[in-house]
Amino acid sequence: MSSIYSEVRGEGNPVILIHGFCETLAIWKPLLNKLAFSHKVITLDLPGFGKSPLPKTPFSIADIAEEVYQWMKENQLLGSVIIGHSLGGYVSLALTEKYPDSIKGFGLFHSTAFADDDEKKHSRNKTIAFVRKRGVKVFADSFVSQLIYVKNRDRLGKEISVITSDAANTDQESLVAYMEAMRDRPDRTDVLKSFNGPILFIAGDQDTSVPFEKSQAQFEFMQHPHLTVLKEVGHMGMYEATSESFEAISRYLAVFVESNSDNSQSGVLPDRDLKKNLGCG
């Protein structure tokens, strides 16, 4: 029996939202009510975050994806759409890699299929050492605000405070174990290339965690991409550009509701035109 904690809102076609590093299901709050108006929205706490207990360490991203898959199976959620923010995107890719027929589609929200490069691995190692020396709270106080584009920080001061408080509650063992798992995860661009369903890809043009040029380099890999670039947005589009994020997700989910309609009828630009509009065609 899975120990993953989850919550359900709304009715309709199921979509599973998977949070990122040092987050919980609460990170989806800005989008939840609107999405639940027309869909069954399931949010979860990944193992080791929020109300879900930490599995035996060490573990890989693929191990976490396996736990999510088993939870989906137990709760009759196979065939859902999954959308992952940052770390949640890594989990979504690993799940899709092993069980491509278990989902209708998946989305990367400020995430990447690329493995960490040497610079990123070095940064993760420095973070691990810092957390072991100074603790999670000190790390959270400096980490969260950096996820937000500098121009958006003043207006999101209250939200940053709440996110920081949630991040500070992360268990240190969980934080370190996930940092190691992210550092060591393999490249999964083949998942983008081989998956024959629609893929949602939302990127912030000011994202320092997943630099936009690396996001853009992946656009051509996908057979059926649904791309949205959020302008003047960092790593937290659900807060920095709530309306635009909701619209992007809604357009993507409409594809599964209106599968018999053409792209123009469903409000989604044809792939080649969308790529051209984003400067990547």
Mean pLDDT (whole number) for 194-223: 96
Q: pLDDT tens, 70-127?
A: 999 999 999 999 999 999 999 999 999 999 999 999 999 999 999 999 999 999 999 9
Domain count, the chain: 1
Residue 211 included in any domain: yes
> Is the CB of residue 114 less than 8 Å from the CB of residue 47?
no
Please report, for the domain that includes residue 272, its CATH number: 3.40.50.1820
Residue 157: both structure tokens together: 């001061």
> Is the CB of residue 83 less than 8 Å from the CB of residue 106?
yes
Least confident of 77-91, 165-179, 253-267: 253-267
Residue 163 included in any domain: no
Residue 146 included in any domain: no
Q: How far apart are CA 188 and CA 257, in angstroms?
A: 28
Q: pLDDT tens, 149-161?
A: 999 999 999 999 9
Mean pLDDT (whole number) for 161-174: 97
Query: Residue 268: pLDDT above 70?
Result: no
- pLDDT band at residue 15 under the 50/70/90 scheme: very high
The predicted model scores a pTM of: 0.92
Residue 136 included in any domain: no
> Is the CB of residue 152 less than 8 Å from the CB of residue 232?
yes
Query: What residues have CB less than 8 Å from 173, skipping those under 6 apart?
Result: 48, 54, 57
Residue 140 included in any domain: no
Which residue matches tokens 């000011």? 206
Domain of residue 13, residue span: 5-114+187-277
Mean pLDDT (whole number) for 60-77: 97
> Is the CB of residue 60 less than 8 Å from the CB of residue 90?
no
Q: What is the pLDDT of residue 153?
A: 98
Candidates 273, 256, 198, 210; CA nearest to 237 is 210
Residue 45 included in any domain: yes
Mean pLDDT (whole number) for 258-275: 41
Q: How far apart are CA 123 and CA 129, in angstroms?
A: 10
Q: How far apart are CA 21 and CA 243, in angstroms?
A: 23
- Which of 163 and 276 is assigned the larger pLDDT? 163
Residue 197 included in any domain: yes
The DSSP annotation for 23-60 comes to: --GGGGHHHHHHHHTTSEEEEEEPTTSTTSPP-SSS--
The alpha helices in the chain, defined as continuous H runs, are 29-36, 61-74, 87-98, 118-134, 136-147, 157-168, 172-184, 189-194, 212-216, 237-240, 242-257, 271-277
- Which of 101 and 263 is assigned the larger pLDDT? 101
Per-residue DSSP letter, 91: H
Residue 138 included in any domain: no
Q: What is the pLDDT of residue 257?
A: 77
Query: Residue 264: pLDDT above 90?
Result: no
Candidates 201, 224, 225, 226; CA nearest to 214 is 201
Distances from the Cα of 156 to the Cα of 13, 21, 236, 246, angstroms: 32, 19, 11, 18
Q: Of how many residues is the chain composed?
A: 281
